[in-house]
Structure 1
Amino acid sequence: MFTITQEQQQYKTYILCDETTDSQVEVVPERGGIITRWRIQGQEVFYLDTERFTHPELSVRGGNPILFPICGNLPDNTYIHNDKQYTLKQHGFARELPWEATEQNTNEKASLTVVLNSNEQTKAVYPFDFQLAFTYELQGNTLEVRQEYQNLSSESMPFSAGFHPYFLCGDKTQLEIEIPSTRYQDNRTKEFRTFDGNFDFSQDEIDFAFGQLSSRSATVTDNSRKLKLTVDYDDFSTWLVFWTVKGKDFYCLEPWSATRNALNTGDNLTVLAPGASRTASVKLTANFF
């Protein structure tokens, strides 16, 4: 049986539940359309900095933030379009703006659609008319995010998009990481290195971008929590970023449609013709063992 309920916490929160498997997700549309929590049989899958979440002026550190219209950051936070310079903060603005819950369904799965439309605030930094419609679907131990990006402008619209999921973890030295790539770029040094499946978690920060993905799936097995996490994605996602900070109980495995600065370089950039749309899907599966 699938249910969707609403609860007034700091924000109106939608709780999607699969009662058969005792799994549930919490969605807060007005705080960046974000999924804040994902529980299976009472165990948290996502990490959430709950204290930071109470401060609307701060970015959310936890859950599954939405990245649009850029992933990562731009040099000096700027890009050029039609000979005009614009400023965009890291990961764009979608994770900071209020979204609207528009549709829900409890037939065969629990699903909730949230929508973000362009407005004067977005067009000041990104001069395009658009609509994003994301549908969160919960069924069993699987959470799928179906995305639709629509260009409502009279000119072509370039963008990149992705997610920044924070996964709660135990002892990081007990993580087994399987990413379908043989090399990565270290964002701190900008150097490319070969990947042998191992990470040095004694570093203060790990920020590695993996391109040339050879399959549509990646897994992380947390042996200390007895949790295997699988991220499946379609061909919209061309990069996976692994990020973690020493002393924090999370790691992030982030599917991105393009790497940093794509709005300036054009690398893997998605460009929608006027009136065109693009769909994509990311599926997360969590299995405790």
Structure 2
Amino acid sequence: MFSIAVQQQQYKTYILSDEGAGSQLEVVPERGGIITRWRIQGQEIFYLDTERFTHPELSVRGGNPILFPICGNLPDNTYTHNGQQYTLKQHGFARELPWKVTEQETGDKASLTVVLDSNEQTKAVYPFDFQLAFSYELQGNTLEVHQQYKNLSSTPMPFSAGFHPYFLCGDKTQLELEIPSKQYQDNQTKEIHSFDGNFDFSRDEIDFAFGQLTSQSATAIDNSRKLKLTLDYDDFSTYLVFWTVKGKEFYCLEPWSATRNSLNTGDNLTVLAPGASHTASIRLMANFF
């Protein structure tokens, strides 16, 4: 049996449930359309800094933030379009703005669709009319996110997009990662290194971008929690970013459609013709063993 309940917490929170599987998903549309919580049989899958979440002026650290219309940051937070310079903060604005709920479904799954429309605030930093529609689908131990990006402008619309999921992990030395790439770029040094499947978790911060992906699936096995996470994505995602901070109980494995600064460089940038739309999907599966 599937259900969707609404609770008024600090924000209106939609709780998607699969009672048969004992899985739950919590979505907060007005705080960036974000999934804040995913539980299976009482076990938390996502990390969430709950104290930080109570402060709307701070970015959310936890759950599954949405990245649009850029992934990562821009040099001096600026880009140029048609000779005009704009300011855009790291990861864009979609994760900070209120989204609205447009559809709910509780037939063979629990599904919630949230929508973000362009407005004067977005056009001041990103001069395009657009609509984003994301459907969150919960079924068993699987979470799917189906995305539609629509250009409502009269000119071509360039963008990149992705997700920033925070996975709960108390002992990162017990992680086994399978990322389908032979090399990564260290964002701190900008150096390229070969990848042998291991990370040095004694570092204060790890921020690695993996390109030239050889498959559309990555896995993370947390031996301390006996949890295997599988991330599947389509060809819209061309990069995976692994990020973590020493002393924090999370790691992030982020599917990005393009690398940092693509709005300036054009690398792997998606450009939608006027009136065109693009669809993409990711799937997360959590299996305890």
TM normalised by structure 2 equals: 1.00
1:62 alignment partner in structure 2: 62
Aligned-partner Cα distance in 2 for 1:199–1:225: 19
The yes-or-no answer on 1:160 pairing with 2:160 is yes
The yes-or-no answer on 1:127 pairing with 2:92 is no
CA contact (8 A) 1:170 1:222 kept: no
TM normalised by structure 1 equals: 1.00
Aligned-partner Cα distance in 1 for 2:40–2:170: 16
CA RMSD in angstroms comes to: 0.3
CA contact (8 A) 1:17 1:23 kept: yes
Matching of residues 190-269 of structure 1 within 5 Å:
190-269=190-269
SS in 2 for 1:76: helix
CA contact (8 A) 1:16 1:25 kept: yes
Show CA shifts across 1:132-167 (max 9, x none). 000000000000000000000000000000000000
SS in 1 for 2:85: strand
How far did 1:250 drift?
0.2
Aligned-partner Cα distance in 1 for 2:182–2:212: 8
Aligned-partner Cα distance in 2 for 1:282–1:77: 28
Matching of residues 179-194 of structure 1 within 5 Å:
179-194=179-194
How far did 1:170 drift?
2.2
The yes-or-no answer on 1:84 pairing with 2:84 is yes
| Partner AA of 1:200 in structure 2 | D
Show CA shifts across 1:25-62 (max 9, x none). 00000000000000000000000000000000000000
Show CA shifts across 1:59-102 (max 9, x none). 00000000000000000000000100000000000000000011
SS in 2 for 1:51: helix
Aligned-partner Cα distance in 2 for 1:152–1:252: 32
Aligned-partner Cα distance in 1 for 2:265–2:208: 19
CA contact (8 A) 1:37 1:48 kept: yes
| Partner AA of 1:107 in structure 2 | G
| Partner AA of 2:57 in structure 1 | E
CA contact (8 A) 1:227 1:288 kept: yes
Which blocks of at least 5 consecutive residues in structure 1 are unaligned?
none
Aligned-partner Cα distance in 2 for 1:176–1:208: 16
SS in 2 for 1:3: strand
Aligned-partner Cα distance in 2 for 1:58–1:236: 29
Aligned-partner Cα distance in 2 for 1:25–1:57: 24
How far did 1:255 drift?
0.1
2:30 alignment partner in structure 1: 30
SS in 2 for 1:264: helix
Show CA shifts across 1:88-131 (max 9, x none). 00000000000001100001000000000000000000000000
Aligned-partner Cα distance in 1 for 2:202–2:138: 35
Aligned-partner Cα distance in 2 for 1:170–1:232: 24
**Residue-pair matches, total:** 289
Segments of 4+ in structure 1 off by > 6 A? none
How far did 1:188 drift?
0.2
